[in-house]
A and B are shown apart, each in its own frame.
Chain A
Amino acid sequence: MIEDELLKWKFKRGSKDALQRIYEKYLDYLLTLAMALLNDAGSAEDVVHDVFVNFAKSAGQFKLAGSLKGYLATAVCNRARDQMRANRRQPARLDESDPAISGSDDPEQSVIYSEESQRLNDAVAQLPQQQREVVVLHLKGEMKFREIAELQGESVNTILGRYRYGLNKLRSILSAEGGLRW
């Protein structure tokens, strides 16, 4: 927590080192969130790219009383929503073999993950968007239900309901696949 406060302070004053540390500290965290929300490596990379670039641009006007981690997670969530809306408006891509998608011969080009991660993520991707957000932001984003309620503009009870439904549905999906045992 305190390290983040120092990083925010230094970042605001134009420190390249602070920006690098924030990037290293939160890149995989944000990429995981973006992947869980979008289930597409190329889109997730775009989202994380845009979030960090906008963050870097904001240094001069940067004011944040809350947590840096929460701020970045919220930015990823908002950007992921934009991405989903944009994807719905666009025809399917002709070339689905994005170099960042799993299966690339060059691991350095890829988003790296285990088979189990992919299976879990495929299951998460089948949840309705709002349930998916709640489950992902709470379990992977470590956000409180209260914070997610603010983000979604709903009551905490609604968010708790979405979380419960989301988890139950995930259990059903994964049990049906027989791929995971709890």
Chain B
Amino acid sequence: MKHNDNMEEKIKKKLNFTAGAKIRDRIFDDVLKAQENSKKTITALKEPNIWRIIMKSPITKLAAAAVIILAGVLSIIVWNKSIPTAYALEQTVQASHTVRYLHIKSFKPNEDEPKEFWIEFYEDGEVKNVRMHMPEWDSPEDGAKVTVWKENKAQVWFKKKKSLVTFSDKTIAANTLDFIEELDPKLVVERLYYAQQAQDQVKIEIDEPSNKAKPIVVTATCLPGSSRAGWRVVLFVDRATKLVTAIEFYKLKDGKYQYVELIEYYDYNQPIDAEMFSLDDDIPADVMQTDQTTQKIGLVQGDLTDKEIAVKVVREFYEALIAKDYAKAGQLYSGLPADKIREKWEELKVVRIISIGEPVPHPDPGVGGFQVPCKIEVERDGAKSIYEPYGPGVRPVHGQPDHWNIHGGVK
């Protein structure tokens, strides 16, 4: 075995090949050409995907619709010079390219509290920091929550659950970036090309009031027969900065356009205080904190299959409870502190594991992982009984894909 270990190290460290400079350049030239050619194809193909994105994401669909329609409006104006107007939306495109800071509010009918977002961009336009306030109505189960995404790390404060979770997770990073992409005015230019193909599907009306104090109003109405039939989007453009300040969304119902959502853009390029992108001063002392970027959570999968590791996690969790090893149980259960586990399981004592069945995929694909059916014997107030928990749900740990943990359904 010792021999093998040495051999392994030798191959890991000593077996290396490096490309000479000319090979590097030669391959890279072809790679760049391939990307350029592919971009032409992407441009022709991508437009329909935009609408799919809108429909897919409940959070972003209206905001994305605004951007798309704005892109449509812009494309028509930019390329169809026959539309007579003093105002050129190209100015809005140009102005949007210099945005470093942005504050957004999203209002829904019958809801007092808006969703709210603060975004800081790098100079090259990439997203740097984000803060999101989501009211309870957006997700009643989670309750109100505040998310800060900074330096590729997300912190989510679940106010109702008194819980703060820190992730460094690819899914969260990708979702955050996808979301911001739909709102980022700089990306409007890119989408102009996509919307260009749909310009005969949208009726555009531009109202530039003689009263200079009033904003320019751009109304985009999707025509019957178009893929977006029934939608109307109204954009308000600031006269001085040429930036979009608000977008209203309407949906045709019973022959009338009914108001669906309002998005307001504030404080373009007003520097956002760095403290906005930190929750340090916001979190009350009684909030339970789990840092999945530093804490080792769950069990290492190693060479076990997904189902095998799911069973192992559940078995070791209940064994830890039987042994009253609350620290280990907490480590297996989302990294919860031992005190919290003790508090949850003090009255209901686990006596023994009766059986652990075959894991089945979690019924909600968005949750992922498995549910592991099991039976345990429990004792409460001296009386023993058989208990079948709902779940338990087991899946990879956010940001620690080699680790699997329980995320709920154990009690």
Contact = CB atoms under 8 A, between A and B. Distances in A.
Interface of A: 1-6, 8-10, 13-14, 16, 19-20, 23, 27-28, 31-32, 35-36, 44-45, 48-49, 52-60, 100, 106-114, 116-117, 120-121, 124, 135, 139-140, 144-146, 156, 160, 164, 167-168, 170-171, 180, 182
A14 B17 contact: no
A112 B18 contact: yes
Given A2-B168, A48-B27, A180-B10, A28 B173 contact: no
Contacts of B18: 28, 31, 111-113
Interface in B1-51: 3-4, 6-8, 10-12, 14-24, 26-28, 30-32, 34-35, 37-39, 41-42, 45-46
Nearest to B42: A60
**Sorted from nearest, which 4 A-B pairs have the closest CB atoms?**
A60-B42, A56-B34, A182-B6, A5-B170
Interface residues of B, number: 49
Q: Is the interface of A mostly helix, strand, loop or mixed?
A: helix
B273 interface: no
Given A23-B27, A58-B38, A140-B11, 15 more contacts: A13-B190, A19-B32, A31-B18, A31-B19, A32-B17, A45-B23, A49-B27, A60-B38, A60-B39, A60-B45, A111-B17, A112-B20, A117-B17, A121-B15, A182-B10
A57 B30 CA distance: 11
Given A56-B38, A60-B42, A139-B8, A117 B30 contact: no
Contacts of B59: none
A56 B20 contact: no
B320 interface: no
7 contacts: A53-B34, A60-B46, A111-B17, A117-B16, A139-B15, A145-B303, A171-B4
B64 to A, nearest CB: 15
A31 B376 CA distance: 53
Contacts of B38: 56-60
Given A6-B152, A100-B23, A182-B10, A113 B17 contact: yes
B7 A23 contact: no
B177 interface: yes
B8 A167 contact: yes
Contacts of B24: 27
A20 B15 contact: no
A48 B178 CA distance: 30
Contact of B10 (A13, A28, A35, A120): A120
B174 interface: yes
A182 B3 contact: yes
A52 B170 contact: no
Nearest to A149: B303
B211 interface: no
B110 interface: no
B41 A60 contact: yes
B82 interface: no
Nearest to B15: A120
A36 B11 CA distance: 10
A140 B15 CA distance: 8
Contact of B19 (A1, A10, A112, A121): A112
A1 to B, nearest CB: 6
B173 A182 contact: no
A133 B39 CA distance: 34
| Most chain B CB within a 10 A radius of its CB, from A1, A23, A55 | A1
Contact of B28 (A5, A23, A45, A106): A23
B35 A56 contact: yes
